[in-house]
């Protein structure tokens, strides 16, 4: 015996399912918006009641849409039980979708309970027909329909939950879409479940009262319609669905407009307001305040080399560290990029800066990579340095810049002359592009000498910039600017080409094949295709890699130890040599010397002055490094050797090589050519395997 469906009622069931689903989605969002926990159980109960009724009505109308050749009725008790099941299932679903974070396990568990519940409701409802003989079910169809119910429930819960937490854009459309998907799933389950039922020929319905199916359908759908629409209206009225979501949207908009999306810190606009308030407070006699301008050191290099994802994570960790340990009145804001500002009480400004430096310098692990950052901080005081946000930020920025210039990882208090410095930096930054294209740059060469024999072991290329108006600009002044703007990569390529050009020139004159060291700033060192770039440049010039040494600072190497040691190994395997520059000024971890396998250690010039003064520190570090380097077979070079007494002390310590004004200043290319000719007999040729290319 087969049944037929009344298409109108099928449609009606779909509409009711849709309405029930939409109510559920709205409810789970509305529940979340409920401020008072006191009302939550009541809302939950009411919500479950209307949603359960909705699902059940859908099912019931679906049943009524189905007519068998015999008269059908429904047992009241069993029908009521199926309604109670539907309400219970809705309670579980709503409670899950409206609270806390939805873990995968909780989602699956709640979805399975809900799906099984819906299925149970369905088959209980079928039972209410009390057919004789009993309905026979096709097992696989039953299993599939239960599976559909569970999958649909999990999807629906997930949708409801994501929608609850998602942004304001197109929310209504999204909710309608979700409700529609849920409705299709619920009706799909129902009709698939129905298809599992086989009615034997000559079946009879034993249940007592046989109401007219069409009338019953009308009553049920009207009731559920009223309940559902009522719930929606109540939702709209009470939690003020519309007004609440409008308010929420407004709050979100306001938050977005005043906070930085990445770190959740207040943005520049908020900062200006905060400073204006503090200025007004001072006028009323409140304590004076300071503005701390914080810029991370070497962030750009990390961001460029490890990707923005790592950069963003790093910024978040830094923001968190800045937030810690602030007094109630203080504020941390993010200006953008790696720039942050703290507003603090004047009396505690320097202590705050010191605390920030300390906390930022602790190791940060991002994606399993141990990273280290430091910061440069500039401090400006109100009212001494400025009377409004713009003036104070400007001065704090200038002081931050001074902190960068004085070697980073430190703070500087603003002084009027710093404004000049900041202005000059702006001019230099602007003119640097032109310097590169108009030939204002040149390379000087400073030789290195073996202590014992005074033979020439190599030479270091040092960049020079003659500015048409400002004259000679020190590399320490413009290299950081080039790093900031990213121009350092082009400048680095230029230096390398210039060095190659000179090597080819020397070789052409039959001069000894001297090794030339080229400095790589942190950002250059972190360019992803560094070695390939270098190979290409040397290849184009026809220069053998063994003629080149690269000098990198500890700081550059330590930014990402894994990657740095790989880059260093690649450079070495391609025939280049690598030196660690300014040793002793950064992390000075002797342990890392073993790890990195440098060919040369250049001990920073600052230690030489201590040697002169008979200081302990210089001597102690030097003898320790020399001993370790000897064991590791790494050459030790002392930089910045200016006096005879320093030279003498170094030879006592058995240091291998020296470089400094004492033996030679950096020489312009033409002068260095003269030097090379004059010293031809005491020049140590680069690398043993290296043969100067034939001319
Ligand atoms: P650095 O690599 O440590 O270079 C040594 C610096 O010490 C050079 O300063 C050199 O002129 C100076 N110097 C040499 N002997 C003495 C001495 O006896 N006493 C004193 N007081 N100083 C001495 P310079 O040329 O001003 O370069 C400064 C820094 O700029 C370099 O430090 C290096 O880090 C960077 N730099 C220079 N040229 C380049 C380049 O082509 N590329 C990159 N990325 N950085 C460069
Ligand atoms: Ca160097
Ligand atoms: Ca150095």
pLDDT in tens, 257-292: 678 878 889 988 889 889 999 999 999 988 899 999
Domain containing 676 equals 426-687
Please check whether residue 592 lies inside any domain of the structure.
yes
Q: Are 361 and 351 in contact (CB under 8 A)?
A: no
pLDDT tens readout for residues 317-369:
999 999 887 776 789 999 888 999 999 999 999 999 999 999 998 888 888 87
pLDDT digits (tens, 9 = 90+) for 518-535: 999 988 998 889 999 999
Do residues 410 and 441 both lie within one domain? no
Among the listed residues 232, 214, 212, the one whose alpha carbon sits nearest the alpha carbon of residue 224: 232
Q: Sorting pLDDT into bands at 50, 70 and 90, what band is 28?
A: low
Q: What pLDDT does residue 574 have?
A: 97
- pLDDT band for position 300 (50/70/90)? confident
Same domain as 439, residue 501: yes
Q: Are residues 103 and 151 in the same domain?
A: yes
In a domain, 693, yes or no: no
Q: With pLDDT > 90 as the criterion, what percentage of the chain qualifies?
A: 36
Nearest CA to ligand 1 atom 45: 519
pLDDT for 32: 59
Tally the domains of the chain.
Answer: 3
Are 229 and 310 contained in the same domain? no
Whole-angstrom distance, CA of residue 295 vs CA of residue 339:
5
**Ligand 3 center to 602 CA (angstroms):** 6
Query: CA-to-CA distance for 546 and 565, rounded, in angstroms?
Result: 19
Q: Is residue 133 in a domain?
A: yes
240 pLDDT band, cuts 50/70/90, is: very low
In this structure, which residue's CA is closest to atom 34 in ligand 1? Answer: 519
The Å distance, Cα 515 to ligand 3 centre, comes to: 17
Q: Which of 334, 353, 344 is nearest to 400 (CA)?
A: 353
CATH number at residue 338: 3.30.70.270
Q: Which ligand is nearest to the CA of 476?
A: 1
Cβ-contact 72, 106 below 8 angstroms = no
Residue 445 has pLDDT above 60, yes or no: yes
Question: CB within 6 Å of ligand 1 — which residues?
Answer: 446, 461-463, 474-476, 479, 492, 495, 519-521, 524, 551, 581-582, 605, 639-642, 660-661, 666
Given this model, what pLDDT does residue 256 score?
67
Q: What is the spatial distance between Cα 348 and Cα 315, in angstroms, rounded to a whole number? A: 24
Alpha helices in 98-138 (DSSP H): 104-127
Verify that 403 and 549 share a domain, yes or no.
no
Among 229, 258, 287, the domain-final residue is: 258
The CA distance from 392 to 382, in Å, is: 7
694 lies in some domain: no
531-577: per-residue pLDDT in tens? 999 999 999 999 999 999 999 988 788 778 888 999 999 999 999 99
Angle, helices 76-97/139-165, rounded to nearest 10 degrees: 40
The lowest-confidence range among 43-57, 210-224, 306-320 is: 210-224
Q: Phi and psi dihedrals of 164, rounded to 5?
A: -60, -40
- The gap between the terminal CA atoms of the chain, to the nearest Å, is 102
Can you give the pLDDT at residue 500?
Answer: 98
Residue in 235, 102, 116 with CA at minimum distance from that of residue 157: 102
The reply to whether 278 and 185 lie within a common domain is no
Q: What is the pLDDT of residue 464?
A: 98
Domain match, 249 and 284 both: no
One domain, residues 683 and 554: yes
The lowest-confidence range among 29-38, 593-602, 655-664 is: 29-38
Is residue 692 in some structural domain? no
Same domain, 272 and 254: no
163 vs 305, residue with greater confidence:
305
Whether residues 239 and 373 share a domain: the answer is no
Both 448 and 374 in one domain: the answer is no
Query: Both 33 and 164 in a single domain?
Result: yes
Residue 22: name the closest of 157, 162, 156, 176 by CA: 176
């Amino acid at each position: 015996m087969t049944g037929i469906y009344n298409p109108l009622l099928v449609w009606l069931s779909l509409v009711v399912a849709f309405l029930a689903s939409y109510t559920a989605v709205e409810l789970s969002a509305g529940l979340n918006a409920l401020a008072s926990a006191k009302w939550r159980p009541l809302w939950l109960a009411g919500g479950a009641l209307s949603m359960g009724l909705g699902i059940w009505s859908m099912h019931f109308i679906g049943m009524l849409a189905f007519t068998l050749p015999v008269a059908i009725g429904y047992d009241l008790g069993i029908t009521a039980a199926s309604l109670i099941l539907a309400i219970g299932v809705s309670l579980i679903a709503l409670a899950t979708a409206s609270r806390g974070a939805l873990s995968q396990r909780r989602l699956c568990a709640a979805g399975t309970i809900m799906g099984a519940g819906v299925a149970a409701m369905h088959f209980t409802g079928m039972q209410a027909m009390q057919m004789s003989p009993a309905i026979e079910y096709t097992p696989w169809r039953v299993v599939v329909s239960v599976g559909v119910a569970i999958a649909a429930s999990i999807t629906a819960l997930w949708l409801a939950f994501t929608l609850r937490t998602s942004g304001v854009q197109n929310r209504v459309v999204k909710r309608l879409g979700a409700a529609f998907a849920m409705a299709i799933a619920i009706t799909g389950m129902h009709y698939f479940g129905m298809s599992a039922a086989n009615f034997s020929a000559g079946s009879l319905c034993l249940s007592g009262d046989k109401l007219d199916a069409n009338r019953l359908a009308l009553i049920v759908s009207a009731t559920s319609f009223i309940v559902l629409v009522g719930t929606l209206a109540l939702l709209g009225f009470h939690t003020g669905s519309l007004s609440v979501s409008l308010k929420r949207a407004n709050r979100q908009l306001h938050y977005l407009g005043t906070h930085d999306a990445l770190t959740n810190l207040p943005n520049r606009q908020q900062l200006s307001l905060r400073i204006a308030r503090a200025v007004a407070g001072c006028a009323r006699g409140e304590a004076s305040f300071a503005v701390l301008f914080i810029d991370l050191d070497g962030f750009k290099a990390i961001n460029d080399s490890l990707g923005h994802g790592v950069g963003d994570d790093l910024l978040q960790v830094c923001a968190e560290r800045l937030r810690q340990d602030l007094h109630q009145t203080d504020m941390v804001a993010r200006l953008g990029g790696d720039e942050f500002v703290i507003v603090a009480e004047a009396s505690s400004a320097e202590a705050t800066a010191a605390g920030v430096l300390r906390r930022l310098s602790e190791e940060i692990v991002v994606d399993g990579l141990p990273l280290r950052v430091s910061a440069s901080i500039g401090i400006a005081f109100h009212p001494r340095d400025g009377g409004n946000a713009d003036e104070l930020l400007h001065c704090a920025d200038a002081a931050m810049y001074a902190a960068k210039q004085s070697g980073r990882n430190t703070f500087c208090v603003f002084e009027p002359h710093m404004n000049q410095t900041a202005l000059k930096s702006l001019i230099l930054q602007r003119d640097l592009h032109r310097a590169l294209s108009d030939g204002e740059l040149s390379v000087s060469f400073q030789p290195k000498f073996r202590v014992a024999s005074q033979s020439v072991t190599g030479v270091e290329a040092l960049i020079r910039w003659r500015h048409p108006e400002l004259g000679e600009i020190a590399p320490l002044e413009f290299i950081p600017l080039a790093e900031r703007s990213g121009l350092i990569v082009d400048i680095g390529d230029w230096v390398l080409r210039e060095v190659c050009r000179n090597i080819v020139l020397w070789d052409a004159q039959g001069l000894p094949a001297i090794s030339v060291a080229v400095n790589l700033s942190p950002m250059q060192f972190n360019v992803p295709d560094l070695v390939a770039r270098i190979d290409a440049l040397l290849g184009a010039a026809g220069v053998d890699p063994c003629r080149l040494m690269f000098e990198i600072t500890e700081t550059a190497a330590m930014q990402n130890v894994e990657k740095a040691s790989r880059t260093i190994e690649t450079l070495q395997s391609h025939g280049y040599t690598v030196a660690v520059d300014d040793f002793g000024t950064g992390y000075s971890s002797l342990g890392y010397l073993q790890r990195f396998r440098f060919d040369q250690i250049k001990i920073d010039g600052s230690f030489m002055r201590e040697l002169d003064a008979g200081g302990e520190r210089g001597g102690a570090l030097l003898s320790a490094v020399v001993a370790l380097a000897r064991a590791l077979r790494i050459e030790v070079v002392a930089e910045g050797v200016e006096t005879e007494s320093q030279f003498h002390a170094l030879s006592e310590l058995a240091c291998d090589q020296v470089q400094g004004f004492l033996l030679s200043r950096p020489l312009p290319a033409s002068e260095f050519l003269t030097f090379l000719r004059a010293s031809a007999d005491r020049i140590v040729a680069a690398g043993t395997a290296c043969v100067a290319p034939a001319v």
